[in-house]
Amino acid sequence: MTETAPVRDDAAREAHDLYGLTPDLLRAILEALDREDAIRLEALVVPLHAADIADLLEQIAGPQRGLVIEALRPDIDPDVLAHLDEPLLSDVRERLGMGEFSRLVGALDADDAVEVIGGLDDGLREEVLAAVPAADRRAVQEGLGFPDDSAGRLMRRDVVAAPMFWNVGQTIDHLRSATDLPDEFYAVFAVDPGHKPLGMIGLGAILRSGREVGLGTLVDGEPVTVRADTDQEEVSYLFQQYGPSEVAVVDGAGRLLGAIAFDDMVDVMSEESEEDVLRLGGVAGTDLHDTIARTTRKRFLWLLVNLATAVLASVVIGAFEGAIQQIVALAVLMPIVASMGGNAGTQAMTVAVRALATKDLTRANAARVIVKEIVVGLLNGLLLAVVMGVAAWLWFRDPALGGVIALAMVANLLVAGMSGALIPLALDRFKVDPAVAAGVVLTTVTDVVGFFAFLALGAALLL
């Protein structure tokens, strides 16, 4: 890229000193891309934060993405890679070339390098690992040896530890002279001779204390620790529940391996919440940047399962074919009962799934939550029964039909509330992720109960 003079306009200045892609800045970048104005594009995108560059690459099409990457050369921030998800990361890797991609990965912190390399095929993984500096390569390889989405994959290995028998002065002298400390850390772990963490001392406590004060007097209880194979969702819960600045990661013998800081967990918390929302919608993961073929393939299986449940509901309807033929109003009104049951059940299910993830819903309070959802379903059913019963009466001039849909509405919303709480609990008990399967099971229950209750009552009371 040739030397260029700085672009003096509001959008360029905004790129230098503002976090986030504002509409004006994005519009200026898109205009530069449309005109293939490399000078202006470089002035706009180079100063951006790595996370904002990653957002920009996600929002633009393939050819434009290539122009942005060229504008960033040769000074692209390696942290951009850490903010990209597959398959966009694969696309960027192909555009950069394996040599440049490997160089950038080698410049990442070990925990970020583990995350990026972990998604590569075995052959590519070895090629990229070879570009990681020898001093960091062992840490990256050890991190890759832990299970996906585990504490071992998340942790920083350059943890700051000091013997419990040291005093503040010795600790400060060590921090000043050591050359292998992380760029940012918030606490010092006090360890025993076996390198097992005995406590954690915040930097604030160290800086406020005299040099002669022993670390043992500054330790406030035992540190929060997790094993390296602990699932990241469990680690996320610890941060949300107890709010530590750092969590110690230990091996099976309790020896300190590394640490996870609260800022390392921000993306994990977001990912876990996003994963639950996507799975409740029947999507295994975000497919915003997937090809049409991959997106279709991912969604088809779930839709096929839903088709099977829809056929079951149709079988129930078919059992009352005669009644529907005699009273056409039943066919007009029956989707309302099933739909309202499904909506009410989804409300209860969403709350239950999220509460299970945050451990707010446990065996200790499960019965109370189920009873609450049953009562809520009953009350909403009664209120909606009055509204729909009167509406059906006036619509078809048949008070008996209004009574039938009112009774069916009460029954289905009661069952929906109970099922919305019970189904996630039951799935969780059998070690099945409620976010994955609860939706399809609930839909089946509310459709079958709704159709059966309405048509059975209609056949019994109206014929």
334: phi then psi, degrees, rounded to nearest 5: -65, -30
Residue 216: CATH number of its domain: 3.10.580.10
Domain count across the chain:
3
Which domain, by its residues, includes 421? 292-462
Judged on CB neighbours under 10 Å (0-12, 13-18, 19+), 320 is: buried
Give the whole-angstrom CA distance, residue 273 versus residue 298. Answer: 20
- Specify if 286 maps to a domain: no
pTM of the model: 0.68
Task: Note the pLDDT of residue 280.
Answer: 63
Residue 458: CATH number of its domain: 1.10.357.20
Residue 100: CATH number of its domain: 1.25.60.10
Same domain, 17 and 84: yes
Same domain, 119 and 181: no
388-420 burial: b if 16+ Cβ within 10 Å, else e? bbeebbeebeeeebbbbbbbbbbbbbbbbbbbb
Task: Note the pLDDT of residue 85.
Answer: 82
- Sheet with 187-191: list strands edge to edge: 161-163, 187-191, 197-202
- Specify if 448 maps to a domain: yes
Query: Percentage of the chain surpassing pLDDT 90?
Result: 43
- Specify if 2 maps to a domain: no
Same domain, 262 and 348: no
Same domain, 253 and 315: no
Per the CB < 8 A criterion, the answer to whether 181 and 203 are in contact is no
Q: What is the pLDDT of residues 151-197, one digit of tens each?
A: 999 898 888 999 999 999 999 999 999 988 888 888 999 999 999 99
pLDDT band at 2 (very low <50, low <70, confident <90, very high): very low
Task: Note the pLDDT of residue 106.
Answer: 87
pLDDT band at 35 (very low <50, low <70, confident <90, very high): very high
Same domain, 17 and 119: yes
Same domain, 144 and 174: no
Q: In the predicted model, what is the mean pLDDT of the chain?
A: 86
pLDDT band at 454 (very low <50, low <70, confident <90, very high): very high
- Specify if 5 maps to a domain: no
- Specify if 54 maps to a domain: yes
Same domain, 458 and 311: yes
Among 119, 150, 181, identify where a domain stops: 150
Among 268, 302, 331, identify where a domain stops: 268
Same domain, 233 and 208: yes
Same domain, 348 and 449: yes
Q: What is the pLDDT of residues 304-318, one digit of tens each?
A: 877 787 788 888 888
Same domain, 23 and 126: yes
- Specify if 175 maps to a domain: yes
- Specify if 3 maps to a domain: no
Q: Which residues pair with 190 in a beta bridge?
A: 162, 199
Same domain, 340 and 449: yes
Among 91, 120, 150, identify where a domain stops: 150
- Specify if 285 maps to a domain: no
Same domain, 104 and 217: no
